[in-house]
Amino acid sequence: MSLNNDVSEVVRHATHTPWVAENLWLLYRHDVDTYRHSCRVGIRSVELGILDGVEKQTYALLAVCGLLHDIGKTSVPSKYLNKNGPLTPDEQEVMDRHPLRGFMLLKSDHRVPPEVLRSVVSHHTWQRRRYPDNVPALAGISREIAQIVALADSYDALTSERAYKKALPHEKAIDILRAQYTGEPRLLERAERLEPLVKMH
């Protein structure tokens, strides 16, 4: 599936929602690479949702969940986010707390839908040993959207270049996900149909 005008418009509209824009600005000011990653995850989340047949009225929510999934990384020093080498145990502990930090940042804002909070907490949903997501306040909130965001996040992390890694081609990323991904197999089949994004500057 190619990035099309419908997906672009959905994500663009989401970024113009005031509370979303406020949080994206915080992310941009803290770390530009993480901001760009979050924008791509917003796009990929909508694409995966479309490929999975979600209802059209869910597209905007998918975009917002993807855009803000890593808002907790505003609590992680930029030097950790872009470190060219493995993190120390202490640094990794700080990194591992970013989903819960994101939840704490957004939970008191009445404008934030519960599905966004669930995606912030659960976007590492298939890595729960490192990133537990059993937050009592979110009991009963579906993980369906969070699972889509989690796969979009992992796919972009593999296929994008960062200061500490090269970008992998689509086929290699899918091979890695086939070996490691423990989420919904159906979603991985949808990810196999993703195509390259227009390069973001």
> C-alpha angle 141/177/155, rounded to 5°?
70
Q: What is the pLDDT of residue 127?
A: 58
Whole-angstrom distance, CA of residue 110 vs CA of residue 172:
41
Q: What is the mean pLDDT of residues 89-101?
A: 94
Give the closest residue to 67 by CA, choosing from 106, 110, 125: 106
Domains in the chain: boundaries:
5-191
Q: What is the pLDDT of residue 73?
A: 97
Q: Residue 111: pLDDT above 50?
A: yes
Torsion of CA 113, 99, 70, 156, to 10 degrees: -110
Q: Long-range pairs for 184-189 at CB < 8 Å and ≥24 separation? A: 184/147, 186/52, 187/48, 187/52, 187/147, 187/148, 187/151, 188/151
- Cα 2 to chain centroid, rounded: 19
Model confidence pLDDT, tens digit, residues 118-175: 999 988 866 555 556 667 677 777 788 999 999 999 999 999 998 778 999 999 999 9
Are residues 38 and 24 in contact, defined by beta-carbon separation less than 8 angstroms? yes
Model confidence pLDDT, tens digit, residues 134-147: 676 777 777 889 99
Of the listed ranges 51-60, 66-75, 178-187, the least confidently predicted one is 178-187
Question: What CATH number does the domain located at 5-191 have?
Answer: 1.10.3210.10
Partners of residue 165 on adjacent β-strands: 162
